[in-house]
Amino acid sequence: MTARRSAALLALGLVLLAACTAPPRVPMQRGHSPITGELRGSEVPPTPAPLIVSTNEPAIPFAASNGKVIATYELSLRNMTPLMLTPIRVEVRSPSGAVLQTLDAAQIPSALALPSARSGVTGLGDGQVGMLFMTLEFATRAEIPDRLENRVTVTAPGFPPVGVTSTSVAVPVSDATVPVLGPPLVPGSGYIAADSCCDSVRNRRAGVSVDNGLWFAHRFAVDWEQLDARGRTVAGDDPDDPADYTIYGKQAIAATDGTVVKVIDGLPDQEPGELPAGIRLDQADGNSVIVAIEDGLYMLYGHLQAGSLHVAEGQQIARGDPIGLVGNSGNSSAPRLHFHVTDGASPVESEGVPYVIDSFTVTGQVTSTQALDGLQNTTQPLPVQPTPSDGAHRDQYPLDRLVVTFP
């Protein structure tokens, strides 16, 4: 590091330190912009902000299979310094000031992501922007306030020992009613809710940058796979053959009434084992069907078999109607049904919204994402353990890696 850069960093640290320790100054005068009419200035003296925290979408609470009501959302963290900023504390409060959740320095990396790393991020470098994924659990919907106040504390060389804390940023809590759906697959057992919300990084953190916007269409997506009677995702002898997978060829069905608005067909199955290279964004979901349902929402069914689709654009369908057979087309490394609900008809330029399934039974949970990833393309059984969620469920969202039976 050059002497000039060292001096600059030291000077910045001293400025931040002075801002945190200086006595109060006379408040700035407030006024309205002659251009926009918006109020400018603050009633309190300005303080340098090394980190800018902003919100993405409102949190939409939903009933989950662990018996809790979950509110999950994202915060954007932008480093406005040439320093390496290390987040050391995140605090979520209610409008009344009650602390609802805290993350310490050891917990934050698993919730912080960059485009190059969806987890395990310990700091943000010069000008970097990270996404912090927050998930809060409540006993009842009534316990959730109408907004969630978030403060992020960071440290860096030259900062005070306690770090510098951002201004509180409020995430609104939506009062929207989530859709109640039926199962997206025919009756059967051993279905795995793979990469389901909220700790899994594959779908929950799959932000897509399109047309100058960042979208999380897969926020509540589930990649449904299936175990056979021996606990294997590959029921045959050849993991390289999609047809030997337990879920391959199972019928996807309409989870509720709706109108088909988009159909993509004719794409080949991929060879299992790894994601295909160079696949186009508009073919990522493979052979797929988008269905408009009530309240302006849309269901997406992805990775279906070519030529197996039973629906056409403009067709009215009813709950339980056949959609198509599960395959391995598109951006997929193993046969699965990708299913999610969004607030727009585009599979990428829309936001994922939660939903609940009206009836299913939990029979266990795959022990870890590592076990699922390591064994799903083999003929070995997956380790499944009992959970407190085992048993019948109504009107809940199945959480990550649960093994369920659809009636």
Q: Where are the alpha helices (DSSP H) in 22-171?
A: none
**What pLDDT is stored for residue 34 in this prediction?**
81
Model's pTM, two decimal places? 0.89
pLDDT surpasses 90 at 48: no
Pairing state between β 69-79 and 62-63: antiparallel
Q: DSSP string spanning 181-225? A: E--SB-SEEEEEEET-TTT-STTTT--EEETTEEE-TTTT-EEEE
**What pLDDT is stored for residue 204 in this prediction?**
95
pLDDT surpasses 90 at 42: no
Taking only the tens place, the pLDDT of each residue in 359-370 is 999 999 999 999
**What pLDDT is stored for residue 29 in this prediction?**
58
Provide mean pLDDT across the span 372-399: 97
The answer to whether the beta carbons of residues 153 and 163 sit under 8 Å apart is yes
The amino acid occupying position 189 is S
Sign of CA dihedral 120, 350, 370, 68: positive
Taking only the tens place, the pLDDT of each residue in 221-245 is 999 999 999 999 999 999 999 999 9
CA distances (Å), origin 199, targets 58, 119, 135, 204, 399: 19, 10, 8, 8, 9
Q: Which of these, 154, 114, 153, 145, lies nearest to 132 by C-alpha position?
A: 114
**What pLDDT is stored for residue 11 in this prediction?**
37
CA distances (Å), origin 147, targets 49, 104, 269: 23, 22, 45
pLDDT surpasses 70 at 138: yes
Provide mean pLDDT across the span 160-177: 95
Q: Which domains does the chain have, with CATH numbers?
A: 49-172 (2.60.40.150), 180-406 (2.70.70.10)
pLDDT surpasses 70 at 27: no
The answer to whether the beta carbons of residues 368 and 375 sit under 8 Å apart is no
**Rounded to an integer, what distance in angstroms lies between the CA atom of residue 52 and that of residue 78?**
5
Provide mean pLDDT across the span 183-210: 95
Q: What is the DSSP letter of 240?
A: T
Of 97-106, 219-228, 278-287, give the lowest mean pLDDT range: 278-287
pLDDT surpasses 50 at 24: no
How far from each other are the two terminal CA atoms of the chain, in whole angstroms?
A: 64
Provide mean pLDDT across the span 374-396: 97
**What pLDDT is stored for residue 310 in this prediction?**
96
